[in-house]
């Protein structure tokens, strides 16, 4: 049906490629591109072996080289680009899509290299240009961001007249056997969790220190876990698109061993993104740290346990207070068996494929730049469950919303 380019050859790129290859009736030709073509070749060969798809090719590309990327898109004849590489590259890839006249989808919002601060404003500014070009750009179609926003839209459509309180809760209850490792790009992960947190309350953002607020949250089939308040990008778009929300927060689990390692990394300066001189060569400590930490792509084998991610919402329906919990649990072992990648990559790659499918079939349509909660959630969630991420919901859930 359509030629698509997938940019990014990490764990998420692997999952996205395999899942797209499972549906040749939609993704008739796939080009997988990244800086390192050997990684692309490995993923492409594995995806074809797993699925039988025979039209997967590869290319080396610097996603920050707009002219080269524009040419690659045009030469391949793609109709859309699925961006699952680094958030630093969102704007250059979007620019290339505008130049080439193709649709765009990513899984994480833009973050400048020189500052650990991610926000949607940079990409939202491109709305008019995409609209004038008759193109659709979908932002943040992973799990969180992504599915958590679709969960919220589903809740708003079916279960609430007004949503007032939203807690997004994210637990990784898996064990990869490493002393310290991150489940996705270490550089992006450490930048994300060491910056100041914030949450939305009564029409304004409230800033917190990193890991300042912790509470024990009970996750389905996982149990109670220490969960810490962070800022996460989907909060920014959710409070914009659902203005009845009085408070929106994001919670993520961290084990004490992980936090101990993280404190040491920060205390010795290895989490810094400021350049330093080492033997006459300028390096960025966090980039160096990334090279010595375990590669997230290597964590899938023998990874046990599961993730549990969902939305807990309190609001009003027909004048009465209502609570609601919607969530997904994903097995690391099952994800690895199907795609060769662990559950965190799986829960990002499956929604990326599903969102691309929605765009290509016209079930999500529009001109401009949009977040996923602005579309009809029902067909997406139907396909999400069918393609590997079934979800559960509970009305009247006994869940805690206090600080």
- Degrees, nearest 5: CA angle 343-344-349: 90
Q: What is the pLDDT of residue 270?
A: 76
Per-residue pLDDT tens over the stretch 161-174: 999 999 999 999 87
Q: Average pLDDT for residues 381-402, to the nearest whole number?
A: 92
Domains of the chain: 2-139 (3.40.50.720), 147-339+389-395 (3.30.360.10)
Q: DSSP letters of 27-84?
A: EEEEEEEES-HHHHHHHHHHHHHHH----EEEEE--TT-HHHHHHHHHHHT-SEEEE-
Tell me the C-alpha distance between 355 and 310, whole Å.
18
Q: What is the pLDDT of residue 300?
A: 64
Q: Average pLDDT for residues 316-331, to the nearest whole number?
A: 97
Q: Residues with Cβ < 8 Å from 173, sequence gap 6 or more? A: 219, 222, 223, 225, 253, 305, 306, 307, 308
pLDDT higher than threshold 80 for residue 77: yes
The better pLDDT of the pair 283, 53 is held by 53
Tell me the C-alpha distance between 43 and 13, whole Å.
8
Order of all β-strands in the sheet with 368-371: 56-60, 27-34, 2-7, 80-83, 103-106, 136-139, 368-371
Tell me the C-alpha distance between 338 and 300, whole Å.
11
pLDDT higher than threshold 80 for residue 184: no
pLDDT higher than threshold 90 for residue 273: no
pLDDT band with cut points at 50, 70 and 90 for residue 111: confident
* Residue 388 exposed, middle or buried by CB count within 10 Å (0-12, 13-18, 19+): buried
* DSSP code for 118: -
pLDDT higher than threshold 70 for residue 8: yes
Tell me the C-alpha distance between 386 and 147, whole Å.
14
Phi-psi region of 63 (alpha: psi -120 to 50; beta: other; left: phi over 0): alpha
Tokens standing for 266? 């920060």
pLDDT higher than threshold 80 for residue 234: yes
């Amino acid at each position: 049906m359509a030629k698509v380019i997938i940019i990014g050859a990490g764990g998420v790129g692997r999952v996205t490629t395999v899942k797209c290859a499972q549906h040749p009736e939609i993704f008739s030709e796939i080009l997988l591109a990244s800086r390192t073509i050997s990684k692309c070749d490995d993923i492409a060969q594995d995806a074809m072996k797993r699925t039988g798809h025979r039209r997967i090719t590869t290319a080396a590309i610097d996603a920050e080289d707009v002219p080269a990327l524009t040419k690659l898109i045009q030469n391949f004849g793609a109709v859309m680009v699925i961006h699952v590489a680094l958030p630093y590259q969102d704007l250059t890839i979007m620019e290339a899509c505008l130049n080439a006249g193709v649709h765009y989808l990513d899984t994480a919002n833009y973050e400048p290299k020189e500052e650990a601060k991610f926000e949607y404003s940079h990409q939202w500014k491109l709305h008019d240009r995409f609209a004038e070009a008759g193109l659709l750009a979908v932002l943040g179609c992973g799990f969180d961001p992504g599915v958590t926003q679709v969960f919220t839209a589903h809740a708003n459509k079916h279960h609430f007249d007004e949503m007032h309180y939203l807690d997004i809760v994210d637990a990784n209850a898996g064990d990869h056997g490493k002393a310290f490792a991150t489940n996705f790009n270490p550089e992006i992960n450490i930048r994300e969790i060491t910056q100041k947190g914030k949450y939305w309350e009564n029409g304004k953002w409230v800033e917190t220190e990193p890991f300042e607020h912790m509470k024990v949250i009970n996750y389905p089939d996982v149990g109670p876990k220490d969960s810490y308040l962070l800022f996460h990008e989907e909060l920014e778009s959710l409070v914009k698109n659902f203005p009845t929300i009085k408070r929106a927060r994001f919670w993520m689990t961290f084990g004490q061993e992980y936090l101990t390692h993280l404190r040491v990394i920060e205390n010795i300066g290895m989490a810094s993104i400021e350049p330093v001189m080492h033997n006459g060569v300028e390096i960025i400590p966090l980039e160096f740290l990334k090279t010595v930490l375990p590669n997230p792509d290597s964590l899938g084998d023998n990874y046990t346990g599961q993730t549990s991610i969902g939305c807990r919402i309190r609001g009003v329906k027909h004048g009465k207070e209502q609570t609601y919990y919607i969530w997904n649990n994903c097995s690391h072992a099952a994800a690895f068996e199907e795609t060769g990648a662990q559950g965190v990559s799986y829960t990002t790659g499956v929604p990326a494929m599903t969102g691309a499918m929605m765009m290509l079939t016209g079930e999500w349509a529009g001109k401009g730049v949009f977040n996923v909660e602005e579309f009809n959630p029902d067909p997406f969630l139907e396909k999400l469950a069918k393609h590997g991420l079934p979800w559960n919901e509970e009305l009247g859930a006994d869940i805690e919303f206090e600080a």
